[in-house]
Amino acid sequence: MIKAVTTIRSTVTLLYAARGVRGFGDGFAVIILPAYLTAIGFSPFQIGVVATVALLGSSLLTLLVGFIAPRHDLRNLLMLGAALMVATGLAFPQFEHIAFIGLVAFVGTINPQTGDSGVLVPLEHAMLAKGVPDEERTRAFARYSLIGALATAAGALAAALPDVLVAAGTSKIAAFQAMFYLYAALGLVGGALYQRLPHAQAQQTGSSTPLGPSRWVVYKLAALFSLDSFAGGFIVQSLMALWLFERFDLSLSAASLFFFWSSVFTAFSYPVAAWLSRRIGLINTMVFTHIPSSIILILAAFSTNLYLVLSLLLIRSALSQMDVPARSSYVMAVVTPAERTAAASVTAVPRSLASSISPAFAGLMLGTAFSGLPLVVCGVLKIVYDVALLYTFRHVKPPEEI
């Protein structure tokens, strides 16, 4: 019994560490990506297309993982994901033509948005959910998200390194390329952590379908989450950075500092979300923190003062992601244990597919007279999503709320 508890704690600790490593890489990659593409001559629309392709590829790969994970070892799949992260970091600096950049973005792991997205997420979620009881699940996911967000904040600060390298005599392009190689090195570290995990299958042998009795609950959640992600695709972090670069001429170092504090604000909202969910419920936590953040985003779109915009966006950062641990916990709670990997994937994939459509449109909008239009569209659609989620699932309770 003591050995089993020790193994579970070790598994959770390794998953937290791997999430931190991945978050650090994502933290600088989402800022470096638009800056690098701008430096090699890409237009805002082309950058939006690259973001769309990256999200589409991530969606399809996550869907594939959702189908094969229930019958395969989670540890081995996580290690394959880490290997893909290494390959992505090594491949990105080798090309400048949009077709090749798009291909690497499609099959790789660099995502234009940070947070709990990407092919490794449903695998980590399933492994984490296996190791904690129902009453601890939301807190475990909150800690998982907190660690990821703090690591992302540190990674955002690292996005200023190209300025340091340029000051030391390195060319701007070479400085950006060095950051991609750092991203590949982090993939190696992640792979080493995953290798120490125990072997585990998400679904017991003999279970015939990835999704069973909970399929309609999962499908409805997936449909609503896709609306939320379609909205979020208009302001994926790479495009938000590009908007700040283009509209306010924000420097790379200033952007890295802003996204650092943005990630810090987000990070400390996760334990608050876990505390709040125990008092008002998971669905209410998702909805009643999300709506104010959307209103603030719309206000930021109309402001012409950089400091006011940054202040509003920081306040939004403290609210907009509080639904993440609550959402992850809710999905794991309303399905059977055997369905958890498939449910995580099926709810994640439509979100990624939907968000992959928006960046190309956002890239076009950024070139219009009112460059804040993507922020307005995002805010309005997210409010529609929140109202629909509350109406549809207000009576569907997880076990700890019954």
3-state secondary structure 1-38: CHHHHHHHHHHHHHHHHHHHHHHHHHHHHHHHHHHHHH
The pair of three-digit structure tokens given for residue 82, joined into one six-digit string: 């880490």
pLDDT per position as a tens digit, 1-36: 444 445 567 888 899 999 999 999 999 998 999 999
pLDDT per position as a tens digit, 209-234: 467 778 888 889 989 999 998 999 99
Domain segments of the chain as ranges: 2-198+210-401
Of the candidates 92, 255, 90, 93, the residue with the CA atom closest to the CA atom of residue 174: 93
In this prediction, residue 210 carries a pLDDT of 62
In this prediction, residue 7 carries a pLDDT of 57
In this prediction, residue 201 carries a pLDDT of 63
Lowest mean pLDDT among 53-62, 147-156, 163-172: 53-62
How far apart, in whole angstroms, are the C-alpha atoms of residue 137 and residue 347?
18
DSSP-assigned states of every residue in 332-352:
HHSS-GGGHHHHHHHHHHHHH
Residue 213's alpha-carbon distances to 137, 209, 216, 219, 353, in angstroms, are 21, 10, 8, 12, 25
User: Yes or no: is domain 2-198+210-401 CATH 1.20.1250.20?
Assistant: yes
Is the pLDDT at 62 greater than 80? The verdict is: no
In this prediction, residue 116 carries a pLDDT of 60
In this prediction, residue 257 carries a pLDDT of 93
Our CA angle for 177, 182, 183, nearest 5°, is: 95
How far apart, in whole angstroms, are the C-alpha atoms of residue 244 and residue 31?
11
pLDDT per position as a tens digit, 357-398: 899 899 999 988 899 999 999 999 999 999 999 999 988 888
pLDDT per position as a tens digit, 75-127: 888 999 999 999 999 999 998 889 999 999 998 888 787 666 677 887 888 78
* CB count in 10 Å sphere of residue 207: 15
How far apart, in whole angstroms, are the C-alpha atoms of residue 201 and residue 212?
17
How far apart, in whole angstroms, are the C-alpha atoms of residue 83 and residue 316?
34
In this prediction, residue 206 carries a pLDDT of 38
Q: How confident is the model at residue 343 (pLDDT cuts 50, 70, 90)?
A: confident
Q: How confident is the model at residue 208 (pLDDT cuts 50, 70, 90)?
A: very low
Of the candidates 378, 151, 390, the residue with the CA atom closest to the CA atom of residue 263: 151
Mean pLDDT of 166-187: 94
**What stretches of 95-204 show up as alpha helix (H) in DSSP?**
98-107, 120-130, 134-158, 161-167, 172-195
Q: Are 326 and 286 in contact (CB under 8 A)?
A: yes
DSSP-assigned states of every residue in 92-121:
GGG--SHHHHHHHHHHS---SS-SS-STHH
In this prediction, residue 8 carries a pLDDT of 62
Q: Which positions ≥6 away from 397 have C-beta within 8 Å?
A: 281
In this prediction, residue 204 carries a pLDDT of 45
The pair of three-digit structure tokens given for residue 282, joined into one six-digit string: 């998971």
3-class secondary structure, 136: helix
DSSP 176: H
Lowest mean pLDDT among 193-202, 230-239, 383-392: 193-202
Of the candidates 139, 197, 193, 191, the residue with the CA atom closest to the CA atom of residue 8: 197
pLDDT per position as a tens digit, 263-315: 889 888 888 888 998 889 999 999 999 999 999 999 999 999 999 999 999 99
Helix-strand-coil split of the chain, %, nearest 5: 80, 0, 20
In this prediction, residue 324 carries a pLDDT of 82
The pair of three-digit structure tokens given for residue 296, joined into one six-digit string: 């603030």
Residue 83's Cβ-count burial label (10 Å; 0-12, 13-18, 19+) is middle
More confident residue, 101 or 353: 101
Q: Which positions ≥6 away from 284 have C-beta within 8 Å?
A: 390
Is the pLDDT at 134 greater than 80? The verdict is: no
3-class secondary structure, 363: helix
Is the pLDDT at 401 greater than 50? The verdict is: yes
